[in-house]
Structure 1
Amino acid sequence: MFKGVLIEKDPQSYTATVKDLDDSVLMDGDTLISVAYSTLNYKDALAITGKSPVVRKFPMIPGIDLAGSVLSCTSGKFKAGDQVLLNGFGVGEVHCGGLAQQARLSSEWLIALPNALSAKQAMAIGTAGYTAMLSVMTLEKHGVTPNCGEVLVTGANGGVGSYAIALLAKLGYTVIAATGRVEEADYLKALGAHEIIDRQLLSEPGRPLAKERWAGVIDSVGSHTLVNACASTKYGGIVTACGLAQGMDLPGTVAPFILRGITLAGIDSVMRPVQDRIAAWARLAELLDANTLDAVASEIPLSAVCETAQRLIDGKVRGRIVVNINERCN
């Protein structure tokens, strides 16, 4: 028996509770993992609260991230005791995920935990930091350097936004942070933001083209915010889209693309090839120090996951939530 969050659905109810489970709930996979830490992402919160149809099989253990040690692996890719981590691949949506003390997964979804990171530190980064790193690497590949000008980060108080600011600042970029919680300005400036702007400047319908300002943008919000970010991006600049906190719609025009030649790059973290994952995690281990991780992340026990999920949906959570699967909350 082991503890985990289980989401159950029937015609009358949708519930998520922490309960005792056995391995019959786990799905097929060649690798059994003792999970040490997981995270609570926005997608996890949507799944737990039922606010969006994230889960497509029931019953389901949520949790799109995990880090822990291998108990057994029949593929030969890992051996017992190896430290591994996982992000995405439909885990927590169509395959039981990381918010439980055990997980059974495909070894093809796992990568080795970087030597410079502990399991807790890796989950402090999680999918949010990994997605932010993929976005930064996309800006770099496009040729956006620190001397090209300001880089806008939207959804700045969220996990992706927080890590995007920290990573860009570490690399020498001038970062402008857009947030709906301007009272968190000190937190964002401590991460490396040069200036804080109110998200309302971007979240309402705007002009097809606005004054050129951004050399690049990392957007985790979508909808009007993404459209306005595109409209203000400099000629030849790039906008990465990796979230939909405001909405899935894209209510804009082609003007920024055909008149200023900007690029809109989608950032998928779920099905990203393993080699891209390894490269991104190597950069994360190099660029993020313990002080940054402590500033961005807070820790909760497994027993607090369902309550915290609702707070995350309500916009009352800053940065990253690390889940100590074994209840030892420091």
Structure 2
Amino acid sequence: MKAIEISQAGGPEVLRLCDRPMPRPAYGEVVIKVAYAGVNRPDALQRAGLYNPPEGASDLPGLEASGEIVSCGRGVSGFKPGDQVCALLPGGGYAEYVATPAAHCLPVSGGLSLKQAACLPETYFTVWSNVFMRGGLQGGQRFLVHGGSSGIGTTAIQLAKAFGVRVFATAGSAEKCAACIDLGAEVAFNYREDDFVDKMQVLGGADLILDMVGGSYIQRNLKALADDGKLVQIAFLQGPKVELNLVQLMTRRLTITGSTLRPQSDLAKARIADELRQHVWPLIMAGKVAPVLDQEFALEDAPDAHARMESSAHIGKIVLKVS
């Protein structure tokens, strides 16, 4: 099969087209003929040599894909060859075929296209597990999401709005702020012009903040939280190390938490998939939430897709068309 491999650690140019053996399904796994693969920042971190795949995972990048199941391993139930699915992957999505646990697959049906479906798993698994399962976000609360125009951000805004949450966002341009508001944010702050701390304090503070920036944002996020608020950290674009005064965690009963998705166990990911199937998939099938697609690239143009993502000019998700 054709695939995109990382020839060495470096920039987008180190991604190259190659031939690899087709995967075979292990116990509980399916093999998917990939139609589209999602492009995500962890892929770029892996390409740069900063995010090694977990033991036993494919060295090929790609953490989500959509397509048709072509074979099933022993122990698989609920899916069969010919079913169209999207799936969270341990790796290997930048390829014509990929193996993944069947429990990490979700059905593609209704009016959902395979291109749209490829945009779902990585961001929806991440947002649901961190914002709703870990963060406990509930209707009526105030929720601030940084990077509101990113794939994570556009997903978080829509899901929170669908569950009756008051949503606020930050983004880096007037166009991106407008996109956040169109998706359901009550207000979007241009972080190049506005101080989100002051703005959120006037509103009473955020009950929950989803952040992937880190660095100087961490202390500012704590100031922007309401009493008893939670900061959920999922990435560190500005770095993970910062000096903090933790007195306000005690006096204002704040919580700092977070997680990464890829290293979690297959069982933990299966539980997230079950929650998505129960609580979120009906919203997707009804058209109440939908992925925001920025741009499509051919598989062999993966370097251009990574350059687009790292430019931060995109709004929503970037996908590779594989077959």
Give the TM-score taking structure 1 as reference length: 0.80
Per the alignment, in what secondary structure is the counterpart of residue 245 of structure 2? coil
Distance 2:300 2:74 in 1: 33
Structure 2 unaligned spans of 5+: none
Shift, 1:120, TM fit: 2.8
Matched, 1:23 2:21: yes
Distance 2:225 2:291 in 1: 32
Distance 1:29 1:265 in 2: 34
| Aligned counterpart in structure 2 of residue 99 of structure 1, from 94, 97, 105 | 94
Matched, 1:130 2:130: no
| Aligned counterpart in structure 1 of residue 146 of structure 2, from 128, 143, 154 | 154
Alignment check: 8 A CA contact 2:214 2:238 kept: yes
Distance 1:258 1:16 in 2: 47
Matched, 1:323 2:320: yes
- Percent identity over paired residues: 21
Write out aligned runs for 1:236-255 (5 A).
236-255=228-247
Counterpart of 1:293 in structure 2 is: 290
Structure 1 unaligned spans of 5+: none
Aligned-residue CA RMSD (Å): 3.2
Pick closer, same or farther for the CA change 1:65–1:41 going to 2, 3 Å.
Answer: same
| CA shift digits 1:74-114 (9 cap, x unpaired) | 323153223443325xx23xxxx111101234x36633426
Instruction: Letter of the 1:283 partner, please give it.
Output: H
Distance 1:307 1:297 in 2: 13
Distance 2:185 2:235 in 1: 20
Shift, 1:131, TM fit: 1.3
Write out aligned runs for 1:148-227 (5 A).
148=141, 150-200=142-192, 213-227=205-219
Shift, 1:243, TM fit: 2.0
| CA shift digits 1:268-296 (9 cap, x unpaired) | 32223312222124433223465853644
Pick closer, same or farther for the CA change 1:257–1:33 going to 2, 3 Å.
Answer: same
Distance 2:8 2:26 in 1: 24
| CA shift digits 1:13-35 (9 cap, x unpaired) | x821123x1417x5884543211
Counterpart of 1:260 in structure 2 is: 252
Distance 1:273 1:60 in 2: 20
Alignment check: 8 A CA contact 2:104 2:273 kept: no
Counterpart of 2:35 in structure 1 is: 36
Pick closer, same or farther for the CA change 1:140–1:264 going to 2, 3 Å.
Answer: closer
Matched, 1:121 2:122: no
Distance 1:310 1:228 in 2: 30
Distance 1:283 1:121 in 2: 19
Q: In the comparison of the two structures, how many residue pairs are matched?
A: 305
Counterpart of 1:8 in structure 2 is: 7
Pick closer, same or farther for the CA change 1:108–1:202 going to 2, 3 Å.
Answer: farther
Shift, 1:259, TM fit: 0.9
